[in-house]
Amino acid sequence: MKRKKHLMFIFGLLFIINLLGYCVIQYQLEREASIEIEPKSLTEVNNEEDVNVTLLRSKDWPEGKFYHGVQYDVSILNDSSHQLTAWEITIPVPKKAKVTDSWNIVYKCEDDILTASPVDYNMIVEPHSQQTFGFILKTKEIEDIESLHAHFIPIYHSSDYPLFWANVAFTCILFISAIISIIVELRTASLRSQNLMDKHIIIQTMKTFSNFVDAKDPYTRGHSARVAYYSRELAKKLHLPDRDVELIYYIALLHDIGKVLIPDDILNKPGRLSPEEREIIETHTTKGAGILKDFDAISGIADGARYHHEHYDGSGYPAKLSGEDIPFLARIICVADSYDAMSSDRCYRPRLDNDTILDELMTNSGKQFDPEIVTAMLDLIKETNFFEVIEE
Ligand SMILES: [Fe+2]
């Protein structure tokens, strides 16, 4: 969940950066669109934007006694990489000259100034292309036109900016990453659900086995599940790694599996057991370890069955191990097992009262039980009400 939030945050941040990139380009576009190119004179028309305007007096002829007809051809050469639009060219003409004909422009002629602008079809001068227009003047005197003024508005596109392409690449990467993340997330969710199902199957299978063990003795019904629960809580309290906390639950569930091989009449005998019968009952540890010897998917499960009756002072069975020689998980199960035995009714005695249980735990700390685990158990009893735990 935390990972998903981080991922969403990163994608959100990248998306905002991407959006800002496009905003910068848009801002640049609007700023650039207001720039105009204004050549000053015929000798200066070739400006930094590579736009050339040339005017050529191509023909003249007499018209009546006092007038001449003069034809001018104008060409606009756009060598820049931008389209040009809304162009306007102003040309000073001889005094009292009149325009008698024109092509490719609309014009007005006032105060001896001819202003030419495009018609619809030649509004845009494409990059690396040329446009021409012309006009005929009726004038008294033939004069060379030596200067003109022109201005254009260049059209800029987003793709003119390297930032635009960087942004496009960034968008693609963002998009592909988002798709990959979604696929990974879906696959992870599917694996997680598969894992959860596998876990349920394992737990239910092991619980079924433990119920089978507990069914041998009506007085110990639910014992294995409770011992597993107490063991897991103890493991948490003792700050064991999460993986071990989970494992000890499974190990404790089957700690008494060897009891399936103990005859019912001995297991459920209400009176005192003879030394031979006690010996037989004690074999449930080694028999359980034998049953679980091939169960190597859960490491330590056979040790849990074999050593959960070992005592910290070495007085337990079957191997009479002591102290740290007893596997830690078995020492935990030993405390959990004894706690449940004391807090539930048995065929040979009713449950012990709470104070007696606490006394027993403290008295046997360092003898039957590992003192560190007893301390954890006493803390747990104080913090949570274990006396009320029935079955998970
Ligand atoms: Fe046992």
Cα of 285 from ligand 1 centre, angstroms: 7
Same domain, 140 and 73: yes
pLDDT at 304 over 60: yes
Which distant-in-sequence residues (6+ apart) come within 8 Å of 353 by Cβ?
Answer: none
Q: Looking at the structure, tell me whether residues 350 and 223 fall in a common domain.
A: yes
Average pLDDT taken over every residue of the chain: 85
Q: Please give the residue that has the higher pLDDT: either 217 or 359.
A: 359
- Candidates 254, 266, 251, 250; CA nearest to 217 is 266
- Partners of 107 in beta bridges: 116
Backbone angles phi, psi at 86, to 5 degrees: 45, 40
pLDDT for 86 equals 82
Q: Could you report the per-residue pLDDT of 251-279, keeping only the tens digit for each?
A: 999 999 999 999 988 888 877 889 999 99
pLDDT digits (tens, 9 = 90+) for 194-214: 999 988 888 888 888 888 888
- 243 Cα to the center of ligand 1, angstroms: 24
User: Is 198 contained in some domain?
Assistant: no
170 lies in some domain: yes
Distance 220 CA to ligand 1 centre (A): 11
- 127 φψ region: left (φ > 0), alpha (ψ -120 to 50), beta (else): beta
Does residue 340 lie within any of the structural domains?
yes
Tell me, yes or no, whether 231 lies in a domain. Answer: yes
Do 11 and 138 fall into the same domain? no
β-bridge pairing 149-155 and 83-92: antiparallel
Assess if residue 42 is contained within a domain.
no
Residue recorded with tokens 């009400």: 385
When divided into structural domains, the chain yields a total of 3
Domain that holds residue 371: 215-388
In this structure, what CATH number is given to the domain that contains residue 349?
1.10.3210.10
| DSSP strand pairing (129-139 vs 67-78) | antiparallel
> What are the Cα distances from residue 331, in Å, to 132, 267, 325?
101, 23, 10
Whether residue 266 contacts residue 278, with contact meaning beta carbons closer than 8 Å, is answered with no
CA of 309 from ligand 1 middle (Å) equals: 6
174: confidence class by pLDDT, cuts 50, 70, 90: confident
What was the pLDDT predicted at 321? Answer: 96
* End-to-end Cα, the chain, rounded Å: 27
Report the separation in Å between the CA atom of 279 and the middle of ligand 1, taken as the mean of its atom positions: 13
* Lowest mean pLDDT, pick from 216-220, 227-231, 285-289, 306-310: 216-220
309 in Cβ contact with 334 (< 8 Å): yes
pLDDT reading at 42 higher than 50: no
Pair (328, 352) in one structural domain = yes
Cis, bond preceding 318 (omega within 30 deg of 0): yes
What count of residues does the chain have?
392
For residues 3 and 8, what is the distance between their CA atoms, to the nearest angstrom?
Answer: 9
The CATH number linked to 147 is 2.60.40.290
Q: Is the pLDDT of residue 40 over 50?
A: no
E strand or H helix that includes residue 373? helix 371-383
Residues 115 and 171 in one domain: no
Q: What are the CA-CA distances from residue 10 to residues 4, 16, 107, 202, 207 (Å)?
A: 10, 10, 59, 38, 44
Is 210 within the bounds of a domain?
Answer: no
Rounded CA-CA distance 291/354 in Å is: 35
Can you give the pLDDT at residue 391?
A: 42
CA of 371 to the centre of ligand 1 (A): 20
Ligand 1: centre distance to CA 239 (Å): 25
Task: Look at residue 196 and tell me if it is in a domain.
Answer: no
Q: How far is the CA of 276 from the centre of ligand 1 (A)?
A: 17
Q: Mark whether 294 and 373 lie in a shared domain.
A: yes
- CA 238 / ligand 1 centre spacing (Å): 22
Share of the chain above pLDDT 90, in %: 43
- Looking at the structure, tell me whether residues 315 and 286 fall in a common domain: yes
Instruction: Mark whether 103 and 184 lie in a shared domain.
Output: no
Are 73 and 103 part of one and the same domain? yes
Residues 292 and 383 in one domain: yes
User: Could you tell me the distance, in angstroms and rounded to a whole number, from the CA of residue 255 to the centre of ligand 1?
Assistant: 6
In the predicted model, is pLDDT for residue 392 greater than 70? Answer: no
Task: Give residue 32's pLDDT band: very low, low, confident or very high (50, 70, 90).
Answer: low
Q: What is the mean pLDDT of residues 320-325?
A: 95
Do the beta carbons of residue 305 and residue 257 sit within 8 Å? yes
Within 13 A of 314's CA, how many CA atoms are on the CB side?
Answer: 4
Catalytic positions, written as ranges? 259
| One domain for residues 92 and 222 | no
Residues 66-115 have pLDDT tens digits of 889 999 999 888 888 788 888 888 888 888 889 999 999 999 988 889 99
Whether 240 and 384 map to the same domain: the answer is: yes
Report if residue 37 sits inside a domain.
Answer: no
How many whole angstroms separate alpha carbon 290 and alpha carbon 97?
122
Residue 100 alpha carbon to ligand 1 centre in Å: 121
Distance CA 232, CA 360 (A): 21
